Structure 1
Amino acid sequence: MINALLFDMDGLIFDTESVYKKSWQYAAKQMGYELTDDYYQGFIGVQDPDCERMLCEHFGEGFDLEAYKVIRDQHFRKAREKGVDYKRGFHELFKTAKEHNLVTALVTSSHLPEVKHNFQDSDYLEQFDTVITAENVANGKPRPDCYIMACQRLNLEPSECLVLEDSNNGMRAGKDAGCQAAMIPDITPPNKEIAEIADYLFDSLEQVTALIHNQPRS
C-alpha cells in the first residue's frame, strides 16, 4: 500500500536538468576544459558541493573552482529567466494524490531559494506535507538521509512511501532508506543496478497516476 509520495524536484517535477547540464558544460568550455556527457551523469541528483569536489578531482590542479562557479551560475540564471516548465503529468499526479488522501513530500538536493523560485507561480510548495532541501541534511543523495528524514517527519514507515526519482543517485537514496522507489528517467536511463532494485520503471508521471488510481482509497 502506498500512503505517501516523496517527490524529487529537478528533472522530475521541473524540466531543469537539461538547463543545469548546459550551464555546467558551458562554464567548463569557457575555461578550456571538457565536461563530457558521461562524466556529468554522476552529478545528477547530487548536491552541488559534492559535484564541485568531483569536478576539482577530475580537472586536477590548477582548476579555478570559484571562477568556474561564477560563469556557471551566470549562465544558469540567464537561462532560467526564460522560465522552467513542469514535466508532463505532474499536475494530474499531484491532484490524484490529494484526492486519494496520500501525504506528499518534496525531497530535493537543491537549496531552498532555488525551490522557491521554481514554485513561485503556484501554490504547490505550500501543499506538500513536508519539504526537505539541501539545507536540511549533511549528507546528500545518493546517501539516504533525506528520505529517512522525510519518512520520520511524515510519521510513516519507509515501506509505505513511494519515492519518485529521475536519477540513479536518487533511486539509490530512496531504496537505501527502505522506501519503495519508481524511476521516471529524464536525461539518464537506469543503470543495471537500479534497473534490478527499482520497484517501478516508468516512462512518465502519467503512469504513476495510473498506479495510484488502481490502489484502494484510504
Structure 2
Amino acid sequence: MPPAGQSRSLAFSFDSETCHSRPACQEPNHRTGKSRIHREIFMPLSPVKSPIEISRIKAVIFDMDGLLLDTETLSFQSFVTTASRYDLIVGIDDYRGMIGLNAATGIDILRAMLPPHMDAVAFKNEWLDVYRQLLVGDVPVKAGAYAVLKGFQQMDMPLAVATSSSGRKARDILTRTGLMPYLRQVTGGDEVPAGKPAPDVYLDVAQKLGIAADDCLAFEDSNNGTTAAIAAGMKVIQIPDLAPSNRTPNPPDFQICSSLTEAAAMIGLQLDE
C-alpha cells in the first residue's frame, strides 16, 4: 500500500498497431517496423486533497500534442521509421527526451543521439516528412478533448493553446480537427524567444488573453511543458502521455491525472454525457 496521501502508479503498454492495452512487456523490434509503446500513467487511487478550485480560475490553457491530440504517438512512429532507414535502433526512451521541446532545442538532443557522421538537421527534416504524411488523413483527438473544451466554453471560460509546434501548424491542425472554434488564442513555439521548458509560450498566451498567469490553469502532458507552465506561475494539471511524470503532486498548484475526463471530474467541471 502507498503511504497516505500518495498515489500508486500503474504501468500500461500500448500497441500502436492494434490499439489494445497490454501488460508491460519488451521493447519494440523497430527493425521490423512494429512498435510497441510503453505508457506509464500515474493514476490516483486515493482521494485528491485540496483540489484546484475552478471558481478561482480565470482562463485555461492547453498544450496540443499529446494532450488535446494523440499526435505524440504518430511522431514517435515517424521517428522509429526514419531511424530504421539508417539501420538505427531507437526506443521510447530516446524519444522521451524530446517531448515538449521546440525544433531548435530538440535538434541539439537529436544531434547528441545520432552517430557523429549523420546530419541531425537532415534526419529531422526526413522525420518531419514521414510525420506529415501520417497527418494527411484524420488527426486523432484525445478522448474527452471535445467534451472538456465544450464544458469550459459553457462557463464562458477563456481558452487557449500553448504549444511547442509552430503556430501555423497548430492553427491548421486545430482547425481541421474542429477544436479551433473553442479557442481564443494560440501561441506556437516559434512565436516566442525561448521554447519549453522556458515559460515564454505560456506567458505570451496569457498576455494575449489579458489574464494574469497566476489566474490561469494549464493542462500539460510532458515534463518539459509542465516545467514551463509552473515557471510561468500557473496552476497545472499534468496528464502524462508517452512519458511518466517526474514530479510529485503539490495540491492545489500541481496535480497529476490519467485523462482529461478524470481531470474534469477532479475540478468539478460538468461535462455533457
TM-score between both structures, scaled by the size of structure 2: 0.72
Alpha-carbon contact 1:97-1:212 (below 8 Å) kept: no
Cα deviation for residue 211 of structure 1 reads 4.0
Distance 2:232 2:89 in 1: 35
In 1: Cα distance, 2:142 partner to 2:150 partner: 14
CA contact (8 A) 1:107 1:147 kept: yes
Partner of 2:42: none
Q: Deviations over 1:9-49 (max 9, x none)?
A: 00111110010011122212212333332121111111122
- Match for 1:108: what amino acid? T
Task: Name the residue aligned to 2:254.
Answer: 199
1:82 aligns with 2:137: yes
Is there any run of 5+ residues in structure 2 with no aligned partner, and where? 1-55
Partner Cα distance (1:25, 1:168) in 2: 21
Paired residues of 1:144 and 1:176 also in contact (CA < 8 A): yes
8 Å contact kept, 1:166–1:184: yes
Question: Is residue 210 from structure 1 mapped to residue 268 from structure 2 by the alignment?
Answer: no
1:182 to 2:237 alignment: yes
Query: 2:115 aligned with 1:64, yes or no?
Result: no
**Aligned residues of 2:249 and 2:256 also touching (Cα < 8 A):** no
**Which aligned segments of 4 or more residues in structure 1 are displaced greater than 6 angstroms?**
none
Higher relative contact order (CA 8 A, sep 6+): 1
Q: CA deviation at 1:212?
A: 4.7
**Alignment map for 1:20-39 (pairs within 5 Å):** 20-39=75-94
Question: Are residue 141 (structure 1) and residue 196 (structure 2) matched?
Answer: yes
CA distance in 2, matches of 1:120, 1:160: 27
What is the CA-CA distance between 1:184 and the residue it aligns to?
0.9
- Structure 1 CA distance for aligned equivalents of residues 186 and 259 of structure 2: 23
> What RMSD, in angstroms, separates the aligned Cα atoms of the two structures?
2.0
Which residue in the other structure is 2:163 paired with?
Answer: 108
Q: Does 1:129 align with 2:184?
A: yes
Flag structure 1 segments of 5+ consecutive residues without an equivalent. Answer: none
The answer as to whether partners of 1:130 and 1:154 remain within 8 angstroms in 2 is yes
Structure 2 CA distance, aligned partners of 1:15 and 1:47?
17
TM-score normalized by the length of structure 1: 0.89
Aligned twin of 1:51: 106
CA contact (8 A) 1:175 1:181 kept: yes
User: Displacement of 1:148 after TM fit?
Assistant: 1.4
